[in-house]
Amino acid sequence: MKLPTIAHIRAYSMGGAAAKIHGQGGGDYHDQGKDHWIDNHIATPMSKYKEYEQSRQSFGLNVLGTLVVEVEASDGTTGFAISTAGTIGCFIVEHHLSRFVEGKRVDQIKLIHDQMLNSTLFYSGGGGVVINTISAVDLALWDLYGKVVKLPVYKLLGGAVRDEIHFYATGARPDLAKEMGFIGGKLPTHWSSAFGDEGIAKDIATLADMRERVGDKFWLMFDCWMSQDVNYATKLAHAAAPYKLKWMEECFPPNQIESYRELKKNMPKGMLMTTGEHTGTLEGFKELSDAGVDILQPDVGWCGGVTSLCEIAAIAKSRGQLVVPHGSSVYSHHAVITFTNTPFSEMLMTAPKADHVRPQFDPVLLDEPIPHDGIITAEELDKPGFGVELNRSCPLERPFEH
């Protein structure tokens, strides 16, 4: 089969516009409208400042907006993907990364990936918006390749190792998630180490209430969004153990490797330590794995794309650890269904009250599958590429051209 080359790459942004026009976040899922659980007094490293305590949007969590990367092959086939990088990402794609993409054959994804990573080392700082952008290009390339050869990405990656993906739900209402068929519910913590023992007591009261509602067997987890120190996390973990908390997630910033190592030693036996959504390099994931993180949680849109996610999964596998990516919908589904060390996956509840299942990247993707009874089947993923199309009724802007 003679494969076409990549003729064009284009980058579009939807900076903050999704929330204003559609009341929905798109690729920047934090960019939700008012009165959304995802922006309701969630503990962060900024919680210590009174003026930024109540809302993550108040300190700029939704400032980047959506990046859409579109790649077009010489035969006219197009692929696309999204991430969180907005206008900054558009600049990087159009003025820098385009040179590594255009002219290559559609199957040369690993070569392009390596050139993107190495050529941006002098300003990527090992993660952040540059890696988000590279991730979107990588994902768009996998989508294009799948669409050209008319196969779903998961088949290009070696095929499914299970017939279906079972999901836990992240959101404010694990009790409702249980009714919807999910296997567990992950709650954001609302208090951080800035609030001391009083903060611990308040989050434990929420956990106790939720345990009462969901019964003994349903999984409950805490997502701590980099808001704690080792002492606080240790005390919270021990206070949560009687309520069978399954794991403590992202207690510390991504580079505080020693804090993770220390917490792992201090935690009650059997409770899991998880993190990874804000780590953007392979080396960073190796360090987290070395520190004893039980579940690595890369975001495929922020860690370097599917190409990087497969490498991270291998690091976890080498130690018997799990890799359970941070949300990210179809871009995660097609990878994790091929991983033997991903027995379940995450569904981020983007409905404002977390009371029904809504596609995570609504309204940017068309045909985005959602779990029914907590499950997505391999058959539902059986469409070329990532199986989704770009909703061109979204207000896309192309701020730069090359």
Binding residues: 30, 56, 223, 249, 277, 346
Binding residue numbers for substrate: 30, 56, 346
Region of 23-31, 171-179, 218-226, 392-400 interacting with Mg ion (CB under 5 A): 218-226
CB of 187 to Mg ion, least distance (A): 11
What is the nearest approach in angstroms of Mg ion to the Cβ of residue 232?
17
Q: Which of residues 104 and 264 has its CB atom nearest to Mg ion in the complex?
A: 264
Regarding 299 and contact with Mg ion (CB under 5 A), the answer is: no
Give me the least distance between CB of 280 and Mg ion, in Å please.
Answer: 15
From the annotation, which residues make up the binding site for Mg(2+)?
Answer: 223, 249, 277
Strand-pair partners of 10: 70
CA atoms within 13 A on the CB side of 54: 3
Least separation in angstroms between residue 177's CB and Mg ion is 15
Q: Name the residues annotated as catalytic.
A: 326
Stretch that binds Mg ion, among 24-32, 97-105, 217-225, 390-398 (CB under 5 A): 217-225
SS3 content of the chain, % helix, strand, coil (to 5): 40, 20, 45
| Residue among 143 and 223 whose Cβ is closer to Mg ion | 223
Phi-psi region of 295 (alpha: psi -120 to 50; beta: other; left: phi over 0): beta
Instruction: Please say which residue, 59 or 400, places its beta carbon nearer to Mg ion.
Output: 59
Residues 6+ apart with CB under 8 A from 115: 100
* Nearest alpha carbon to residue 140 among 396, 338, 390: 390
154/232 with CB nearer Mg ion: 232
Asked whether the beta carbons of 386 and 361 are under 8 A apart, the reply is no
CB neighbourhood size of 63 (10 A): 15
Q: Which stretch binds Mg ion (CB under 5 A): 31-39, 55-63, 223-231, 385-393?
A: 223-231
Should residue 223 be labelled a site residue for Mg ion when binding is judged by CB under 5 A? yes
Q: Measured on CA atoms in the order 229, 321, 116, 61, is the torsion positive or negative?
A: negative
If one asks whether residue 262 binds Mg ion (CB under 5 A), the answer comes out as no
**Minimum distance, C-beta of residue 72 to Mg ion, in the bound complex (Å):** 34
Question: Which CB sits closer to Mg ion, 156 or 237?
Answer: 237
47 exposure class (CB count in 10 Å sphere: 0-12, 13-18, 19+): buried
Helices (H), 55-195: 86-92, 98-101, 109-119, 121-124, 129-149, 153-156, 174-179
The binding track of 319-358 with respect to Mg ion, each residue x by CB under 5 A or -, is ----------------------------------------
- Nearest-approach distance from CB 297 to Mg ion, in angstroms: 7
Instruction: Report how far residue 274's alpha carbon sits from residue 322's, in angstroms, rounded to the nearest whole number.
Output: 9
Among the candidate windows 40-48, 140-148, 197-205, 221-229, which touches Mg ion by CB under 5 A?
A: 221-229
DSSP lists the bridge partners of residue 249 as: 223, 274
Between 275 and 308, name the residue whose CB sits nearer to Mg ion: 275
Q: Which residues contact 348 (CB under 8 A, 6 or more apart)?
A: 29, 170, 171, 327, 360
Residue nearest to Mg ion (CB): 223
Size of the site for Mg ion (CB under 5 A): 1
- Which residues of the shown chain bind Mg ion in the complex (CB under 5 A)? 223
